[in-house]
Amino acid sequence: MANDAANLDKTVKIEYLTRVEGEGGIYVRAEGGELRDVKLNIFEPPRFFEAFLRGRHFQEVPDIVARICGICPVAYQMSSVHALEAALGVRPGPEIRMLRRLLYCGEWIESHALHIYLLNAPDYLGYESAVTLAADHPKEVERGLRLKKIGNDLLDLLGGRATHPVSVCVGGFYKAPRRKELEKLREDLRWALEAAQETVSFVAGLTFPEFAPDYEFVSVAHPAEYPMNERRIISSSGLNIDPAEFEHVFLEEHVAHSTALHSVRADRGSSYMVGPLARLNLNFDKLLPCAQAAARSCGIAWPCHNPFMGIVARAIELVHACEEALALIDAYQEPASSRVEFRVQGGEGCAATEAPRGLLYHRYRINDQGLVEAAKIVPPTSQNMRRIEDDLKQFLPGFLAQPEAEIARVSENLVRCYDPCISCSTHFLKLRLDRA
Amino acid sequence: MKKVDSERCTRNRGGCEHNGGPLFIVHSSMSTEVRTLIVGYGNPLRSDDGFGWHAGRMLAQALAGQDAEVMTCHQLTPELAESLSQCGRAVFIDADVEGEPGAIHRRSIVPEVPPSSAFTHTCNPSGLLASAQHLYGHHPVSMAITVSAQSFEFGDTLSPAVSAALPEVVDQVCQWVRLKEPNSSRVESTSPRGNPSFVDV
């Protein structure tokens, strides 16, 4: 992995990142004690979703884009249906809106629980994996697995199944749950709320490296609720735009060492962060009471700029998701129809929703027959790619005197803080062929 | 088979059908009385990768009245550790990328802590058993039955060679479930023409 001929010249290669979703590696080169190069190598094969969506009927889109990801399929379905409904001029009613938030709560619970306990916590406790962590901390890992299962149970009920849900459609759902079916989940969700609060205490007690870059945080924002499916896009630098302006403000770029695109601010070329830390920092006042109480009592001053404390932000959002799921179930009234009727017409629409890992943007253009003519999908992980590299460039100079194994360890830890979903980020690749 | 909680796919446009039948998603709400858990896993939209699903559906019928529960899923996930800890025996059924198409392979599974990259969003059977032991203090006597695949292309039907192996796999699992003292340390391989060849490991 390393050469060590001179202590000040080091090359660290992590061929295969562990405890992340998908395939990627890290390359770090130092010369004379100075950092010369850092690359987050993404070699997961590109998957061309935006290309093969063309010509498909719009009602196939939610099922197809769900396949972009096995752990955040709901996010892709939510961004797609909201974008397509914008194109078609469809406005589902309040019951559908609430069911969609409830579905998203399920995904946040299972995804955040998985990341906290199985992917990220082992880093701070000195374990190789969740299995070795479980040998010494069985209660904590068991809590995490049970939380994940409860999130999946909610997805099962509302979505038809946890992996690639099948009940989401443009206009609503193919089937809405009965109230008594949702009520059966109350007991588990009450346990989950307490377990989520214990999770905040657990992660807030971990020891984190000192690191606080000057980020531009970006997220969806809603005037009255913690963001999930609506409405505008804001940033800590004062941005406040409609999703229709997204592609004017943010630019996706190819880089040679990555099959995932990198996103930057179009005007400045600068990186930005999306995800739980960004969401929490920008929307703290919209957290529900238990979540806000957990955030205030965890010992962290918000807004927080330390990416390693993203695990605490996730735990706080876990509390929020459990709390909101219970509130939505209490308020649920079975809709007269699980989906609205509408006339198919050509149009173009876009939307941004908040996947567990951050803002997910979709845009579609459909014709009068309802066939997709163009699609654009910008996942949160590809938006964070440049920011991750910038973090590594800022963080690693303090570790260059350390052995290569330690440099590798802290590099992987930093990448894992973002909970990257590499398969999502490689959904598309533009091909430019230069013929000599 | 003990009555289990099961839910049909909630798609409501003519029913959610897979190869003409309903798709059973069995929730693991096992009581301690249930002795054997059968997990058929894989992607039913990738041809032979759906072997575990097809086998699971046949076993759910074949084992009716027996002390067993059948579960089908796209992939093995960490939360299955709890279900495994609650049973005395477990069978994992999947397609295999190697071997002559239709060949059946059977081997015992023991707990083994996986590499750190191998217990995250998905797991392998031995890692799940290790988690079951570490977290819940018990792991079942387990075996895996796999069938060498011919095709992993997009499609919702099995290739002829793999489809022909279904009855034999169902029969082997049923026999193992009915054993009083399960012990599957021998690896057995059955050729597509049904002439078994046994290899001890």
DSSP B136-200: HS---EEEEEEEE-S--SSBSS--HHHHHHHHHHHHHHHHHHH-SS----EEEEE-TTS-EEEEE
* B45 in contact with A, Cβ within 8 Å: no
Judging by DSSP bridges, how do beta strands B68-73 and B104-109 pair with one another? unpaired
* A25 in contact with B, Cβ within 8 Å: no
Structural domain contains residue B184: yes
Contacts of A128 in chain B (CB under 8 A): 116
* A132 in contact with B, Cβ within 8 Å: yes
Structural domain contains residue A214: yes
Contacts of B119 in chain A (CB under 8 A): 118, 129-131
Residue type, A148: K
Contacts of B9 in chain A (CB under 8 A): 160-161, 166
- Say if residue B66 is exposed, middle or buried (CB neighbours under 10 Å; 0-12, 13-18, 19+): middle
Contacts of A156 in chain B (CB under 8 A): 7, 25, 27
**A-to-B residue pairs, Cβ atoms closer than 8 angstroms:** 100
* Cβ atoms A264, A253 nearer than 8 A: yes
Strand partners, B186: B200
A400 SS3 class: coil
Q: What is the C-alpha to C-alpha distance for residues A332 and A180, in angstroms, rounded to an integer? A: 10
Which residue of chain A has the CA closest to B24?
A161
Chain B window 132-191: which residues touch A at a Cβ cutoff of 8 Å?
134-136
Quick check: A174 and B114 CB within 8 A?
A: no
- Omega into A231 within 30° of 0, i.e. cis? yes
Q: What is the pLDDT along chain A (436 residues), one digit of tens a residue?
A: 444 445 778 888 887 777 766 677 888 888 888 888 888 877 666 677 888 899 999 999 999 999 888 788 999 999 999 999 999 999 999 999 999 999 999 999 999 999 999 989 999 999 988 888 888 999 999 999 999 999 999 999 999 988 889 999 999 999 999 999 999 999 999 999 999 999 999 999 999 999 999 999 999 999 999 999 999 999 999 999 999 999 999 999 888 777 778 899 999 999 999 999 999 999 999 999 999 999 999 999 999 999 999 999 999 999 999 999 999 999 999 999 999 999 999 999 999 999 999 999 999 999 999 999 999 999 998 899 999 999 999 999 998 888 888 888 899 899 989 988 766 665 543 333 333 3
Number of domains in chain B: 1
Q: What residues have CB less than 8 Å from A431, skipping those under 6 apart?
A: none
Structural domain contains residue A29: no
CA max distance for chain A: 73
Q: Which domain CATH number covers A161?
A: 1.10.645.10
Q: What is the C-alpha to C-alpha distance for residues A204 and A198, in angstroms, rounded to an integer? A: 10
Q: Which residue has the tokens 């597509």?
A: B192
CB nearest to B120's CB, from A118, A164, A175: A118
Structural domain contains residue A31: no
Structural domain contains residue B1: no
* A166 in contact with B, Cβ within 8 Å: yes
Structural domain contains residue A172: yes
Which residue of chain B has the CA closest to A131?
B131
Task: Could you list the beta-strand ranges (E) of A16-169.
Answer: 24-31, 34-42, 168-169
Strand partners, A363: A350, A376
* A142 in contact with B, Cβ within 8 Å: yes
Quick check: B9 and A21 CB within 8 A?
A: no
Mutate to test the interface with A, among B18, B79, B80, B83 (most CBs of A within 10 A): B79
End-to-end, the C-alpha distance of chain A in Å comes to: 37
Determine the average pLDDT of the residues in B32-52. 87
* pLDDT tens digits along A225-258: 999 999 999 999 999 999 999 999 999 988 877 7
Token pair listed for B138? 């018990």
Contacts of A19 in chain B (CB under 8 A): 116-117, 120
Report the pLDDT value the prediction gives residue B115, as an integer from 0 to 100: 67
Q: Which residue has the tokens 């796209």?
A: B74
Q: What is the C-alpha to C-alpha distance for residues B108 and B97, in angstroms, rounded to an integer? A: 18
Helices (H) and strands (E) in chain A, counts: 16, 13
Determine the average pLDDT of the residues in B166-190. 72
Structural domain contains residue B43: yes
Token pair listed for B109? 């599974």
Structural domain contains residue A199: yes
CB nearest to A132's CB, from B13, B75, B113: B113
DSSP state of B7: E
Structural domain contains residue A331: yes
Q: What is the C-alpha to C-alpha distance for residues B81 and B72, in angstroms, rounded to an integer? A: 15
* A128 in contact with B, Cβ within 8 Å: yes
CA of A51 vs chain B CAs: smallest distance (Å): 18
* B82 in contact with A, Cβ within 8 Å: yes
Q: What is the C-alpha to C-alpha distance for residues B81 and A92, in angstroms, rounded to an integer? A: 39
Q: What is the C-alpha to C-alpha distance for residues B93 and B81, in angstroms, rounded to an integer? A: 16
Query: Which of B135, B104, B105 has its CA nearest to residue B119?
Result: B135
Say what the pTM is.
Answer: 0.85
Report the pLDDT value the prediction gives residue B13, as an integer from 0 to 100: 28
* A149 in contact with B, Cβ within 8 Å: yes
Report the pLDDT value the prediction gives residue A237, as an integer from 0 to 100: 97
Q: Which domain CATH number covers B184?
A: 3.40.50.1450
Mutate to test the interface with A, among B18, B74, B121 (most CBs of A within 10 A): B121
* A9 in contact with B, Cβ within 8 Å: no
Judging by DSSP bridges, how do beta strands A372-378 and B21-22 pair with one another? unpaired
Quick check: B114 and A129 CB within 8 A?
A: yes
Name the least confident of A76-90, B24-38, B116-130.
B24-38
Residues in chain A, how many?
436
Which residue of chain A has the CA closest to B112?
A131
Strand partners, B39: B71, B92
Contacts of B27 in chain A (CB under 8 A): 153, 156
Contacts of A164 in chain B (CB under 8 A): 74
Contacts of A163 in chain B (CB under 8 A): 73-75
Quick check: A145 and B135 CB within 8 A?
A: yes
Residue type, A100: R
Strand partners, B21: B18
Domain enclosing residue A420, as ranges: 49-425
Q: What is the C-alpha to C-alpha distance for residues B68 and B47, in angstroms, rounded to an integer? A: 27
Structural domain contains residue B61: yes
Neighbours of A223 (CB within 10 A): 8
Strand (E) or helix (H) holding A12? strand A10-14
Q: How far is CA A354 from CA A76, A232, A406, in A?
A: 10, 11, 34
Residue type, A173: F
Number of domains in chain A: 1
Quick check: A160 and B10 CB within 8 A?
A: yes
Domain enclosing residue B33, as ranges: 6-200
Query: Which of B124, B199, B196, B198 has its CA nearest to residue B165?
Result: B196
Quick check: A141 and B127 CB within 8 A?
A: no
